[in-house]
Amino acid sequence: MHKKIRKAVIPAAGFGTRMLPATKSVPKELLTVVDRPLIDYIVEEAFAAGIEHVVVVHGRMKGAIEDHFDHAFELDSSLRKAGKHPLADRISGATPQTGAISFVRQQEARGLGHAIWTARHVVGDEPFAVLLPDMLMVAQTPCLSSMVDLYEETGSNVVAVERCDPQEAHKFGIVSLQPGSDGSRITGLVEKPAPGEAPSNFFISGRYILHPEVFAILEDQAPGAGGEIQLTDALRTLLQTQVIRPYEFAGRTFDCGSPTGYVSANLHLAMARPDLASALAAEIEGLLTRENAKAA
C-alpha cells in the first residue's frame, strides 16, 4: 500500500511573458477560458483526482488569485436575493473548502523547480502532485486521476507525456523510454534537444506525481537552462535512485500560456457548451466565409 497522494502544488509565479500585455496586471492563471479562470479548471482536476489540499505558489499579484478562492458573501447574497440560485451555487461549488487551499510565496521567479521547492514545508515528507496551471488538459478521465491510478499501482514517480511531431521535438522537454514487462520507464530527460537529436517524440506535459526526495535535490541544484532552477534537471538526478513512469496522456492539451493555445482552448470549450455552441458556430462559419471570399 503506497502513501496516498493528498497534496498538489500549482506553480503560478511565472511572468507569463508570452501572454503580455494581458499578464501585466492580471496573473496568467486568472485569464478566462470561456467564463471561468484558467486556475479553476486546474483546481477542479486536482480535487477530482482525490487531492485534499492544493498549494498555490504565487508571487506578484498574489491578491487577485487568493481573492478568487474566497467565499464572496456579498456577491452570494445579492445573487440569491435576485433569485439567481443556480449561478450562486455554481460559484460557491467551485470554491475549495476552508483549509483545503493554501498559498506560498516564491519571492523571486527563479524557475519551475525553485517554485516547487518553495512548497516543501507545506507538502512535507509525502508524495505529491504538480499541475502546471497554463496546461489545460481535457479528457473524459482527467489526466491527474489516471496518473494517481498508475502511482497507486506502481508506487513510482509519474510524469505525463504526449507525442509530438518529431520535427517539433526541439521545442520541448523530451524523455527517453525503456519498455519493460512491468510497464515502461523513463530513462532520460533532455530539455529542448538540438534539431534531429531528440531521443524520442514524447514530450513532458504539464502533470507530475513526485516523491518528496525531489525537494532535497532541488535544494542543492545549480541553475540550468535560462539561468533557472529547472525541474527537468532535478528529475534527471532523481532517476539515479528512483523509477519514473511515463503516463501517456491521450486527451487534448491546450498550452494556455501561448496566444494560439489560449484562443484554441476558448473555442473548443465554448463549442462543448450547449448554451454557446450554435451561436458560436454561426459566427465561425460567417468568419470563414468572409475569409474564403477575400482569398478567392
For ligand UTP, which residue has the nearest CB? 14
Rounded Cα gap, residues 202 and 159, in angstroms? 11
Q: Which of 18/185 has CB closer to ligand UTP? A: 18
Residue with Cβ nearer ligand UTP (8 or 88): 8
Q: Which stretch binds ligand UTP (CB under 6 A): 32-40, 106-114, 194-202, 276-284?
A: 106-114
Q: Which is nearer to ligand UTP, 112 or 175 (CB)?
A: 112
Nearer to ligand UTP by Cβ, of 88 and 173: the residue is 173
Number of residues that bind ligand UTP (CB under 6 A): 21
Q: How far is the CB of 171 from ligand UTP (least distance, A)?
A: 12
Q: Give the list of residues 6+ apart from residue 90 with CB closer than 8 angstroms, or none.
A: none
Using CA of residue 39, residue 224, residue 214, residue 176, what is the dihedral sign? positive
Binding mask 54-83 for ligand UTP (x = CB under 6 A): ---x--------------------------
Residues linked to residue 32 through DSSP beta bridges, in sequence order: 37
Which of positions 115-174 make contact with ligand UTP (CB under 6 A)? 115, 132-134
Of 8-16, 97-105, 156-164, 177-185, which segment contacts ligand UTP by CB under 6 A? 8-16
User: Do 268 and 254 form a contact (C-beta atoms < 8 A)?
Assistant: yes
Q: Are 19 and 31 in contact (CB under 8 A)?
A: yes
Stretch that binds ligand UTP, among 102-110, 137-145, 191-199, 273-281 (CB under 6 A): 102-110
Contacts with ligand UTP, 235-264, as mask; x by CB under 6 A: ----------------------x-------
130, 11 Cβ separation under 8 angstroms:
yes
Q: What are the residues whose beta carbons fall under 8 Å from the beta carbon of 82, sequence distance 6 or more? A: none
The answer to whether residue 103 forms part of the interface with ligand UTP (CB under 6 A) is no
Q: Is 15 in the site for ligand UTP (CB under 6 A)?
A: yes
Q: Is 211 helix (H, G, I), strand (E, B) or coil?
A: coil
Question: Which SS3 state, helix, strand or coil, does residue 151 take?
Answer: helix
Among the candidate windows 14-22, 121-129, 147-155, 276-284, which touches ligand UTP by CB under 6 A?
14-22
Q: Which helix (H) or strand (E) holds 282?
A: helix 277-295
> For residue 4, which of 143, 209, 142, 207 has the smallest C-alpha distance?
209
Asked if 5 and 49 count as a contact pair (C-beta separation under 8 A), the reply is yes
* Cα gap 94→153, rounded to integer Å: 30
Binding interface with ligand UTP (CB under 6 A): 11-18, 28, 57, 106, 109-112, 114-115, 132-134, 257
